[in-house]
Amino acid sequence: MTNYFDIKLSDENIGKISNLGLAHLGDAVYELMVRVWLCEHGKCTSGGLHRAAVSYVNAPRQARMAEKLMPLLTEEEQAVYKRGRNTKVNSIPKNANPGEYHAATGLEALLGYLYLHGRQERINELFKIMMED
């Protein structure tokens, strides 16, 4: 049985996944981490948890976090981020401008890529930096 919480796919398999597929997965990884972080910090009621999660899981905030991380990313990570950022998207939510949405998509693609490579330690390092405020 595959353990999807501790997965490591080959470069070949990951290469078959579209940038938007990586971003879709990265969005889930990021949201799960945010929810756990919020519970750890006392935001445990369902209403409070949802409102707090939405304040972190949105394109403008993720774009700011991506900007914060850029100088710390390896060349490989920057390349994955840029591929995700430059992907053509069909619609942009009302709460974000195109630049923010593309940056958020890049960050999500990076998180999805790292997750599928089994690099949870690196994801945790980046997440810790993102959540420093």
Catalytic residues: 27
CB 69 within 8 A of CB 126: yes
Residue corresponding to tokens 């990265």: 26
Category of 118 on φ-ψ map: left (φ > 0), alpha (ψ -120 to 50) or beta: left
Return the amino acid letter for 27.
Answer: D
Tell me how far CA of residue 119 lies from CA of 5, 38, 50, in angstroms: 11, 22, 27
CA 94 to chain centre: 20
DSSP H/E element including 90:
none
Name residue, tokens 């899981």: 57
